[in-house]
A and B are shown apart, each in its own frame.
Chain A
């Protein structure tokens, strides 16, 4: 990652001998949007072509601060897409900033017609409790022949094939160690 600079235009203008009036004109020009943004190398999360992209953000998460995406474009150094993007990749900023991005854990009570906000702690404690109670009630430790089978079929999980390999490995460890066998990703469909 590096900080994109914006100083070049102004200095070279002076070197070319532009007059004061022209310098004033230049001073009015809106600074480039991408100046002083952080560039991050990324990959389009949609299809498996996995085009390289560069995300320009205001701020830098590496430096501990907040960062906000201001622009996304194709990575010209990437061997597959060489800077090009399709209509999906070209509109990626719209996904990051979609009005329907989820912001808070929400909870729907049985029979209710609405979602209500819930804290992370409350939601996670309640899910863990529901899962443990179901596992304890329905875990099949042995089959009818007395063999250890350690299966939990009454709770299942679908894993997201847009998550990273690293998230997937953490998810795998969790799901298989608690005995979930109804476990698939989008490759199945």
Chain B
């Protein structure tokens, strides 16, 4: 989230699209209710189902899953055509005026440079024209035919209300009503917030869904302001934290990136990462990359990381592919190329698409380790449960270790919420049985491996032998010790750059925040964006001052938000080019003639002059990007693409399937179904009574929602002779499940491209362990294909068939 949960009360319009906050994030959604009750805010819901969020909305419009880009591009076009643009903001704070290279264009659903063989674009034309001074050429009048603004208008031209209706199935008048309500937020004193979740990410073009809304928000001037923003409602309690800390194949901590084979040494690695400003006087904050990278390497390898050895750059693995993401790993596993796998608090056989492939892959492992406080289907994937897990146990030769871990109540530490607040929690109870902290288990595995390498030697032991592991009890690093390491400290006295006789931070002391990190090896910090979380003031994540001066919703004294305790990202954009708040009643920051003052920590140097320095300091341009240059694999503008399994063809290019640059493994391509065989458009979602596959272990939640079901419309039920409460079989090209049918008015057939499209809704909470009745998940059916940029599986849009059926059989019943 760019903003905080508590900031939502400041909004005038909430758009919930690609999410269902009332059910999936109930206590955060209360701030929407607050805005409605006390500010008169309105709520729009756009969703294939009439969700419980929709039931309290002011306006609901249906949409076919996987067509959000067409809808949002349509809204952008409506706003521009009707002059509903926050002109001053758009001109000053976006790259609308930047001139794009000749040659860039879009035709038949494809951008310039498409290579069908490689399923990739040559992106050389997707860039700015650079002047002799090395800076991007701009035309502030927006008259140049090749400026971003004019290219954007051209790109959006086909997205008429008629096209939106044809593609999305949203009746034209409903679309127009939504577009009109949104367009009203183009004035500087009206703000809209976007709340989205996996309904936007789980698509083969998920990143572009989000981009489309971000662009709309920029055109309306709603980024960086109170009650605005792009608010990704993260699924798990610390998915934000684990991503910030770089627990992903392509990342290091704090959004530093893993080196690739092209990065032959440290200097080569750095040469593509210290981004020079593209406009005069801009901050381009990543120019500090080296300070954060060197401090990270010192945190990892201490004295073994020296200037001479490129700070132990050699120790970091180098990627030969963009990422060994989960889809790639299971593809490798299924072809026999993976031997061991550790699942810490993760249940792949219910979480990843094409369950049959996941089970087959796990069956090919030599060993698998699970770490969890609860039973999981994954740790028992080899166990036969009749229809619910139909495996041949004796033929599965995977050795399995099921390690019991503590749960939240039994440990100290911090979790990062969706609004980037790092909140500390304290241990309240003793672990049951022999359950152990994850950090103890990890320490044990590390120490045992290190010991083996010490004794026996082996493949490149250096990064293991030299890993910094200086804890009071090396068997169990404490949360406090680890948090301090994440924050960082001085390794030698840090002298004041303005007065070299003064010690700024003495050796061994915590740095105050990342502004004190250096690139000469004199500082260390595990994760620069978190620096400030535990400095010499103590544990800032444990702060509990809930005062909120003038009720802005900022709560600066409550825990710690990254970066630098900032609550709203890009908050400098809440004021105009002269530093005056767009809306004085919703001031965040103001330029007082010499510095920025206000309710939040400024997202800009405190003395950076408003006319000179742009608000988007992480970008080389200093402004935000309506045109993404070559940074997205599937285009600098969002363009409509169908899901890989779609009930209709792409109206821009009837031969094109899915995202033209998304990676599809050959065996998965063979398992994609067509609408002739599988006529119904399925989607997956959560229910408010359950959290993924955990709460089915709780008796209360299992009593509230005991049994797996699928939702269909009355029309489809009549057509297929399916009764409400009767058993149905739902199957795709990849698997089959049995469920109770819920026949509902909440789902209605849509007319898309001239034909009716029926939607089948599949919730995701059931398996074969726990207190609830045994059941299935949508992942048995979903396709094994991911987003072109980040490889998030397309779990929100796939094709199925459905028929009346009988109850599934458990093992006992079948023997």
Kindly state whether residue A36 has any CB partner on chain B within 8 Å: no
CA distance A23 to B479 in the complex (A): 49
Contact of B704 (CB < 8 Å), options: A87, A112, A120, A179: A87
B587-609 contacts to A (CB < 8 Å):
none
* B247 and A132 within 8 A (CB): no
CA distance A131 to B450 in the complex (A): 11
Against B, the Cβ 8 Å flags (1 = close, 0 = not) of A33-69 are 0000010111111111111100101010100001111
Give how many A-B residue pairs fall within 8 Å (CB-CB).
485
Kindly state whether residue B394 has any CB partner on chain A within 8 Å: yes
B483 to chain A: closest CB distance in Å?
Answer: 5
CA distance A123 to B238 in the complex (A): 28
CA distance A114 to B643 in the complex (A): 41
CA distance A89 to B235 in the complex (A): 14
Against A, the Cβ 8 Å flags (1 = close, 0 = not) of B375-407 are 100001011100000000111111111111101
Contact of A103 (CB < 8 Å), options: B426, B434, B689: B434
* B526 and A169 within 8 A (CB): yes
Kindly state whether residue A86 has any CB partner on chain B within 8 Å: yes
Kindly state whether residue A165 has any CB partner on chain B within 8 Å: yes
Which residues from chain B contact A127 at a C-beta distance below 8 Å? 367, 369, 401, 445
Which residues from chain B contact A151 at a C-beta distance below 8 Å? 317-320
Kindly state whether residue B619 has any CB partner on chain A within 8 Å: no
Q: How large is the interface on B (under 10, 10 to 19, 20 to 34, 35 or more residues)?
A: 35 or more
* B459 and A94 within 8 A (CB): no
Contact of A159 (CB < 8 Å), options: B247, B337, B398, B453: B247
* B403 and A105 within 8 A (CB): yes
Which residues from chain A contact B530 at a C-beta distance below 8 Å? 165
* A111 and B395 within 8 A (CB): yes
CA distance A87 to B264 in the complex (A): 52
Kindly state whether residue A106 has any CB partner on chain B within 8 Å: yes
Against B, the Cβ 8 Å flags (1 = close, 0 = not) of A128-171 are 11111011101101010001111111111111111111111111
* B482 and A166 within 8 A (CB): yes
* A183 and B429 within 8 A (CB): no
A100 and B697 in contact, given A165-B241, A184-B325 (Cβ under 8 angstroms): yes
Which residues from chain B contact A95 at a C-beta distance below 8 Å? 374, 407, 694-695, 697-698
Contact of B372 (CB < 8 Å), options: A89, A102, A166: A102
Kindly state whether residue A30 has any CB partner on chain B within 8 Å: no
* A161 and B236 within 8 A (CB): yes
Kindly state whether residue A187 has any CB partner on chain B within 8 Å: yes
Which residues from chain A contact B695 at a C-beta distance below 8 Å? 46, 88, 91, 95
Kindly state whether residue B653 has any CB partner on chain A within 8 Å: no
CA distance A102 to B378 in the complex (A): 14
Kindly state whether residue B627 has any CB partner on chain A within 8 Å: no
CA distance A136 to B384 in the complex (A): 34
A100 and B770 in contact, given A135-B458, A158-B346, A185-B242 (Cβ under 8 angstroms): yes
A86 and B319 in contact, given A69-B409, A165-B486, A185-B242 (Cβ under 8 angstroms): no
* Stretch of A2-10, A13-21, A73-81 contacting B (4+ beta carbons < 8 Å): A73-81
Which residues from chain A contact B165 at a C-beta distance below 8 Å? none
CA distance A138 to B544 in the complex (A): 49
Kindly state whether residue A178 has any CB partner on chain B within 8 Å: yes
Kindly state whether residue B792 has any CB partner on chain A within 8 Å: yes
Contact of B317 (CB < 8 Å), options: A120, A134, A167, A181: A181
A55 and B429 in contact, given A102-B373, A188-B325 (Cβ under 8 angstroms): yes
* A61 and B459 within 8 A (CB): no
Kindly state whether residue B804 has any CB partner on chain A within 8 Å: no
Contact of A79 (CB < 8 Å), options: B452, B546, B790, B791: B546
* A186 and B351 within 8 A (CB): yes
* B25 and A154 within 8 A (CB): no
Kindly state whether residue B489 has any CB partner on chain A within 8 Å: no
A177 to chain B: closest CB distance in Å?
Answer: 4
* A131 and B449 within 8 A (CB): yes
Kindly state whether residue A29 has any CB partner on chain B within 8 Å: no
- Binding site of A, secondary structure by majority: helix, strand, loop or mixed? mixed
* B425 and A41 within 8 A (CB): yes
A61 to chain B: closest CB distance in Å?
Answer: 5
A78 and B546 in contact, given A149-B320, A158-B344, A172-B245 (Cβ under 8 angstroms): yes
* A164 and B411 within 8 A (CB): yes
B349 to chain A: closest CB distance in Å?
Answer: 12
CA distance A40 to B445 in the complex (A): 31
* A50 and B400 within 8 A (CB): no
CA distance A117 to B10 in the complex (A): 55
Kindly state whether residue B769 has any CB partner on chain A within 8 Å: yes
Which residues from chain B contact A136 at a C-beta distance below 8 Å? 458-459
A113 and B394 in contact, given A78-B546, A166-B414, A166-B439 (Cβ under 8 angstroms): yes
* A98 and B339 within 8 A (CB): no
A147 to chain B: closest CB distance in Å?
Answer: 6
* B483 and A165 within 8 A (CB): yes
Kindly state whether residue B408 has any CB partner on chain A within 8 Å: yes
Contact of B249 (CB < 8 Å), options: A1, A106, A182: A182
Which residues from chain A contact B402 at a C-beta distance below 8 Å? 102, 105-108, 115
B472 to chain A: closest CB distance in Å?
Answer: 14
Which residues from chain B contact A59 at a C-beta distance below 8 Å? 430
Kindly state whether residue B109 has any CB partner on chain A within 8 Å: no
A56 to chain B: closest CB distance in Å?
Answer: 8
Kindly state whether residue B105 has any CB partner on chain A within 8 Å: no
Q: Which of A111, A134, A160 has the most CB of B within 10 A?
A: A160
Which residues from chain B contact A160 at a C-beta distance below 8 Å? 242, 344-346, 371-372, 438
* B429 and A96 within 8 A (CB): yes
* B235 and A170 within 8 A (CB): no
B328-371 contacts to A (CB < 8 Å):
328-329, 332-333, 337-346, 348, 351-352, 366-367, 369, 371
* B428 and A38 within 8 A (CB): yes
Q: Which of A113, A132, A177 has the most CB of B within 10 A?
A: A177
CA distance A128 to B398 in the complex (A): 16
* B340 and A156 within 8 A (CB): yes
* B463 and A178 within 8 A (CB): yes
A45 and B422 in contact, given A55-B429, A86-B27, A155-B338 (Cβ under 8 angstroms): no
Against A, the Cβ 8 Å flags (1 = close, 0 = not) of B407-431 are 1110111111110011101111110
A77 and B544 in contact, given A156-B340, A167-B442 (Cβ under 8 angstroms): yes
Contact of B409 (CB < 8 Å), options: A46, A55, A153, A179: A55
B268 to chain A: closest CB distance in Å?
Answer: 11
A160 to chain B: closest CB distance in Å?
Answer: 2
* B418 and A49 within 8 A (CB): yes
A108 and B399 in contact, given A47-B236, A188-B792 (Cβ under 8 angstroms): yes
CA distance A52 to B27 in the complex (A): 11
**Which residue of chain B has the shortest Cβ distance to A152 in the bound complex?**
B317
* A171 and B317 within 8 A (CB): no
Which residues from chain B contact A130 at a C-beta distance below 8 Å? 340, 366-367, 399
Which residues from chain B contact A31 at a C-beta distance below 8 Å? none
Which residues from chain B contact A153 at a C-beta distance below 8 Å? 324, 332, 337-338
* B394 and A48 within 8 A (CB): no
A165 and B445 in contact, given A40-B428, A51-B27 (Cβ under 8 angstroms): no
Kindly state whether residue B239 has any CB partner on chain A within 8 Å: yes
Which residues from chain B contact A55 at a C-beta distance below 8 Å? 409, 428-429
Against A, the Cβ 8 Å flags (1 = close, 0 = not) of B781-815 are 00000000011110100000000000000000000
**Which residue of chain B has the shortest Cβ distance to A113 in the bound complex?**
B393
**Which residue of chain A has the shortest Cβ distance to B437 in the bound complex?**
A167
Q: Can you list 12 residue pairs at the A/B interface with Cβ under 8 Å?
A: A40-B426, A47-B237, A79-B6, A127-B445, A156-B341, A158-B346, A162-B238, A165-B244, A177-B315, A178-B464, A186-B242, A188-B792
Q: Could you list 4 further interchain pairs (A-B, Cβ under 8 angstroms) beyond the known A103-B433, A188-B791?
A: A47-B236, A104-B433, A153-B337, A187-B243
